[in-house]
Amino acid sequence: MIHSDKKTNLENFGRITEDQYSILYTVAKKLNSSEKISSLVETGLDLIIEALNAERGLFVRYTPADGGFSIIAARNFNRESIQDLSQFSSGILQKVISGRQPVLYHDIENDDSAAVFKSVQIHNIKSVIGVPVFMEEQIWGAIIADSRSNRKLFNKENLHFLDFYSNLISLSLNRLIAIESLENENISLKNRLENLTPLPDIIGNSKPMLSLAQLIKKVAATDATVLLLGESGTGKDLIANAIHKLSRRSNAPYLAQYCGSIPDSLLESELFGYKKGAFSGAVSDKKGLFEAADSGTFFLDEIADVSLSLQAKLLRVLQNREIIRIGDTSVKKVDVRIISATNKDLKKMIRNGEFREDLFYRLNVFPVTIPPLRERKDDIILLANHFIGRFASGSNIRLHKDTIRKLESYDFPGNVRQLENMIQRAVIFCDGEILTPDMIDLEEQRFDPFHFDGTLNSYIKNLLLKKLDENNQNKTQTAKTLGVSVRWIQKKLKELEDNPSGELSLKFGGEEADDE
């Protein structure tokens, strides 16, 4: 028995003949063209049999967890001889694995150490050679070749060739395993993306969002009235649309109406429609949104902003699925699913006499709370990358690791909408392909009304614009937040429209009560 000395690849390469150079070049090209590990194994074994003029060959996979071997390719063996040879080969395999280098039995008939293998006599084996195959630093498997003819006894030249050859296979194996790993990762990521919630148009795979998805899927399968609860910017409109898309009504209309900061008369005409001549300007009959959404879904956003008088009319729709156009007396039936949403405490509003209790119970058949972004931090980077893809389409902009940490440490009081705006601004400032932390201005998001530079006038202007932004341009809610009248808000905005760089009147809401 001959063991190869532990040589470097370069030393073994120097012992290869000119004919073997040509063979290795051809081998390298063929191995490099292999696209699957299975084809690499088959091709690799065939090329060894041909190059060494061996009679038979085995490619064996080694599993270090249990120290076992499994044959993954074989040449010129019948089923019985494979079973017998496995007993013989196990000795060589153990030597190859434990020694981590090629092993050669040059002339078994004259090698007493090979006598312990019973199948040597059974199969009249004359010469055997074996070599390990590595994946990085770990043994992945081994290749064994033998000859039962005196015309071919393997020698050291074959050993050096096979040693270098195994390195070519190892390189190709590492390449294919890396590709396979990436493909599996891509499949995994694709599956995650396809099942993020899994809700249409909703990004997020955090536990709160997966729980929400299960809830939404259940209620979508019914016709139950849904009340969406959550802070501004959490995506209540997207959830409403997802419920529609997952419902039996998905092929019917989906309509939405924002109820904030709209005069009663205008909102009523939008919701219920009107008859020709019902009021000045009603030159023809108009179908309202409830009728237009017949057989489908109608989403009432910011339902808490609807006046008490209009709430009574909404109650009729919810109770009887009936509407009456403005100026008409005939009752029209509508088959419409109603989803509503608010960021306010409706129970508190009921106690304050601002919201009808009977309407609340009609709306609150199936309440769904949308988690704020601070409670689903695992989704922040997923959402950020989604917005980068939207605002920087076709570019390779990506987040710096410090930017990721900065985003994940922030609470986002404005929720997903705030993150979206933040990423859009950052993309505008990004000149290269890396979105760095300095492009994310968190301080800009934290307006402190008690620390400002400039005049009182500039403070009022900044405060008004900030609060309008926080309330999604809802003038009614902004007026309540600031403790002023809606009329005051409207006047200040008119002043800004007429003179954007000018000063605002310093009179507050209460001082203009007489104007109302």
Each as own residue / partner, the long-range contacts of residues 214-221 (CB below 8 Å, 24 or more positions apart, any chain) are 215/368, 216/242, 216/243, 216/246, 216/368, 217/246, 219/243, 219/366, 219/368, 220/244, 220/246, 220/247, 221/246, 221/247, 221/248
Mark whether 10 and 138 lie in a shared domain.
yes
Bridge partners (DSSP) listed for residue 70? 61
Q: Give the pLDDT confidence score for residue 4 in this predicted structure.
A: 43
What is the DSSP secondary structure assignment for residue 153, as one 8-state letter? Answer: -
Boundary residue ending a domain (321, 349, 369)? 369
The torsion of the CA quartet 492, 498, 502, 507, rounded to 10 degrees, works out to: -30
The enclosing domain of 213 has a CATH number of 3.40.50.300
Please tell me the predicted confidence (pLDDT) of residue 336. 97
**pLDDT one-digit tens code per residue, 254-302:** 999 999 878 888 899 999 999 998 888 888 999 999 999 999 999 999 9
Strands of the sheet containing 297-301, edge to edge, are: 254-258, 297-301, 337-342, 226-229, 366-369
Amino acid identity, position 392: A
User: Which residues have C-beta within 8 Å of that of residue 280, sequence separation ≥ 6?
Assistant: none
Please report where in the chains the tokens 């202007």 appear, as a residue: 461
* 399 and 437 in a common domain: yes
Same domain, 353 and 405: no
Q: Is residue 188 part of a domain?
A: no
Q: Is residue 280 part of a domain?
A: yes
Give the domain-ending residue among 445, 475, 503: 445
Tell me what pLDDT residue 302 has: 94
Question: What is the per-residue pLDDT for 250?
Answer: 96
Of 150, 183, 216, which residue is a domain's last? 183
Whole-number pLDDT of residue 83: 56
Whether 191 is in a domain gets the answer no
Q: Is residue 256 part of a domain?
A: yes
Taking the CA of residue 183 as centre, how many other CA atoms within 13 Å lie in the half-sphere pointing to its CB? 8
Q: What is the pLDDT of residue 217?
A: 94
218 shares its domain with 289: yes
Q: Are residues 341 and 246 in the same domain?
A: yes
- What is the dihedral sign for C-alpha 213, 214, 215, 218? positive
Asked, for residue 331, whether it belongs to a domain, the answer is yes
Q: How many helices (H) and strands (E) does the chain have?
A: 19, 17
Residues of the chain with pLDDT under 50: 1-14, 87, 195, 444-454, 506-516
* CA 484 and chain centroid, separation: 44
User: What is the model's pLDDT at position 372?
Assistant: 96
* Residue range(s) defining the domain that contains residue 175: 2-183
Q: Are residues 54 and 104 in the same domain?
A: yes
Q: In terms of domains, do 386 and 313 share one?
A: no
Which residues, 6+ apart, have CB-to-CB distance to 428 below 8 Å?
none
Q: Residue 234: is it exposed, middle or buried by C-beta count within 10 angstroms (0-12/13-18/19+)?
A: buried
Q: How far is CA 259 from the centre of its chain?
A: 33
Q: Is 71 exposed, middle or buried (0-12, 13-18, 19+ CB in 10 A)?
A: middle
Number of domains present in the structure of the chain: 4
CA distance 174 to 6: 22
Q: For residue 8, give the CATH number of its domain.
A: 3.30.450.40
Q: Is residue 340 domain-shared with residue 377, that is, in the same domain? A: no
Asked whether residue 502 is assigned to any structural domain, the reply reads yes
Is residue 154 domain-shared with residue 211, that is, in the same domain? no
Query: Whole-model pTM?
Result: 0.54
Q: Based on the domain organization, do 255 and 122 belong to the same domain?
A: no
pLDDT of residue 135: 82
Is residue 171 domain-shared with residue 46, that is, in the same domain? yes
**HSE-up of residue 94 (Cα within 13 Å, Cβ side):** 6
* pLDDT score recorded for residue 355: 97
Give the pLDDT of residue 452.
45
For position 394, which CATH number holds? 1.10.8.60
Residue 431 phi/psi, 5° resolution? Answer: -90, -25
265 and 413: one domain?
no
Structure confidence at residue 448 (pLDDT): 44
Is there a domain that residue 134 lies in? Answer: yes
The predicted pLDDT at position 224 comes to 97
* Coil/strand/helix, residue 324: coil
The pLDDT value recorded for residue 317 is 94
Question: In this structure, is residue 429 part of a structural domain?
Answer: yes
Ranges assigned E (strand) in 246-287: 254-258, 273-274, 286-287
User: Helix H segments across 53-104?
Assistant: 79-99
